[in-house]
Structure 1
Amino acid sequence: MAADTKSRMISAAIGLLQRHGLAAMSFTDVLAESGAARGAIYHHFPGGKQQLALEAARRNAEDVRSHLHELPASTPREVVEAFLGSVRPVVQASAGGGGCAIAAVTVDGGAAIADQSSLRTVAAEAFTGWGSELAGKLTHAGMSPSQAADLATLMIVTLEGAHILCRAEGSIAPFDRAAAALLSGLPNSC
């Protein structure tokens, strides 16, 4: 039961980070969305908001990495198309005001977080892990390791940039343009 409460609180924090960012994420909102009792806050997160944000970012990072692990890897084009297809709904949510929980802890620590470097470290590990997962898929699909690493980085940059541009425009159009450019930049042999 306690583990379930903590898990619900982390899930609520991920959603709040995606929608509002770290500075605007409050324990009141986490409790309301998770259905947890007020006493659960410091029982499960004695380190306060920073601990909750770190645990939420770590879980979100692992969830995304697990999802990327499931992408098909027959050809580089298949990897890229599957990636773009799988992240499109997430970017669509950004057009409606959502965002990336990992980006939120990277750029939006706010005054309530004493140790911003630990949040940036978790974010860097997340992005590195996602890139490694994609690079592994691309290498398995026949690309050289250096080409695969470069393309994986471009894919992550496309996703994260799309979150910002699509939210600003209130439209998925920037992502669609970037996705088309990404696909058109692939060699014909991919």
Structure 2
Amino acid sequence: MAADTKNRMIGAAIGLLQRHGLAAMTFSDVLAESGAARGAIYHHFPGGKQQLALEAARRHGEDVRGYLRELPAHTPREVVEAFLGSVRPVVQASAEGGGCAIAAVTVDGGAAIADQGGLCAVAAEAFAGWEGELAGKLAEAGMGSAQAAGLATLMIATLEGAHVLCRAAGSVAPFDRAAEALLSALPKVD
């Protein structure tokens, strides 16, 4: 039961980071969304908000990495198309006011808050893991390792940039344009 409470709190924190960012995430909101009792805060997260944000970012990073691991890898184009298709709903949520939980811990609340407790390191680890999964899929699909690594970085940069651009525009149009450009940059023969 205690592990379930902690998991619910981490899940609530991920959602709050996506919707409101680090600075606006409060324990009151985490408790309301998770249904946990106030005493659970100090039991599960004696390090406070920073510890909760760190564990939420780490979990979200691992969850996304697991999802990327499941993408098909027959051709590089298939990898890119599957990635773009799978992240489009996430970017749509950004256009409606959401965002990336991992990016939230790196940019929200200022550098002093973000660096405290290793949040930037956890975010860097998550992004590197996502890039590694995508590079592995692209290499598995026949792309050279250096080219695969570069394209994987471009894919993650496209996703993260789309969160910001689409939120500002209130539309997925910036993502759609970037996705089209990304696909057109691929070699025509896979």
What TM-score bracket applies, with the shorter chain setting the length? over 0.9
Q: Which runs of 5+ in 1 are unaligned?
A: none
Whether the aligned pair in 2 keeps the contact of 1:15 and 1:101 (CA below 8 Å) is yes
* Correspondence list, 1:115-130, <5 A: 115-116=115-116, 118-130=118-130
Change (3 A) 1:66 1:114: closer
CA distance in 2, matches of 1:24, 1:187: 43
Task: Look up the SS of the partner of 2:99 in the other structure.
Answer: coil
Change (3 A) 1:48 1:110: farther
Q: What amino acid sits opposite 1:62 in the alignment?
A: E
Deviation string, structure 1 residues 31-79 (Cα, Å, up to 9, x no partner): 0000000000010000000000000000000000000000000000000
What's the Cα RMSD here? Answer: 1.4
- Structure 2 residue runs of 5 or longer lacking an equivalent are none
Give runs of aligned pairs for residues 51-66 of structure 1, distance below 5 A: 51-66=51-66
Map Cα deviations across residues 128-178 of structure 1 (whole Å, 9 max, x no partner).
000000000000000000000000000000000000000000000000000
Q: What letter matches 1:104 in structure 2?
A: A
The Cα shift of 1:112 comes to 8.8
Amino acid at match of 2:87: V
1:84 aligns with 84
Write the deviation string for residues 78-136 of structure 1: whole angstroms up to 9, x where unpaired: 00000000000000000000000000001114599484361000000000000000000
SS in 2 for 1:36: coil
1:70 corresponding residue in structure 2: 70
In the TM superposition, what is the alpha-carbon distance from 1:189 to its structure 2 partner?
A: 1.4
Report if the CA contact (8 A) 2:19-2:99 is conserved.
yes
Q: What SS does the corresponding residue of 1:186 show, helix, strand or coil?
A: coil
Partner of 2:185: 185
Give the secondary structure class of the aligned counterpart of 2:171: coil
C-alpha distance in structure 1 between counterparts of 2:185 and 2:116, whole Å: 36
1:138 has 2:131 as partner: no
For the Cα contact (< 8 Å) 1:49–1:112, is it kept in 2?
Answer: no
> In the alignment, is the contact (CA less than 8 A) between 1:23 and 1:111 conserved in 2?
no
Give the 5 Å matches for 1:147-166.
147-166=147-166
**How far apart, in 2, do the equivalents of 1:128 and 1:116 lie?**
20
Matched, 1:95 2:95: yes
Structure 1: distance between partners of 2:91 and 2:109: 22
Q: Distance in 1 between matches of 2:112 and 2:180?
A: 40
TM-score, normalised to structure 2's length?
0.97
Counterpart of 1:6 in structure 2 is 6
- Measure the CA separation in 2 of the matches of 1:114 and 1:168: 22
Task: Tell me, yes or no, if the aligned pair for 1:10 and 1:55 is still in contact at 8 Å.
Answer: yes
In 2, distance between residues paired with 1:88 and 1:54? 26
- Distance of aligned partners of 1:10 and 1:90 in 2 relative to their CA distance in 1, 3 Å threshold: same
